[in-house]
Amino acid sequence: MKQAYSILINDLLQQYHFKAENMRAASAVADAVREYSQNDYAFRLSVGLEGLLSTAEAAGDTESATVLAAIVSKCNAGDIPQPFGAEQFAA
């Protein structure tokens, strides 16, 4: 997969997990609000990843598209991966 896609995927995953953890840690938030927010974060992650997938497909980058499709599938099943480590981006 191209490095640019890896960086963007990692950024989206970091944003999701940061927001989700902050919401879980917020003690003064009603359960219904917490659940709504978690679903909103997951939706935004899905939109971002789908956009990257569409871009890879339009560019003819089948390798990146295949990896992105697998990540989108996992996320849609509720299995949100953790962000990658910094070693993922070593050139």
Q: Looking at residue 29, what is its pLDDT? A: 84
Q: Taking all residues of the chain, what is their mean pLDDT, rounded to a whole number?
A: 88
- If one counts the domains in the chain, the total is 1
Q: Quote the domain boundaries for residue 21.
A: 3-80
Domain presence at residue 66: yes
Which pTM was predicted?
Answer: 0.83
CA distances from 57 to 14, 20, 51, 68 (A): 24, 29, 10, 10
Stretch 17-46: mean pLDDT: 90
**57 within some domain:** yes
Does 89 fall in a domain? no
- Model pLDDT for residues 62-89, shown as the tens digit of each residue: 999 999 999 999 998 889 999 876 445 4
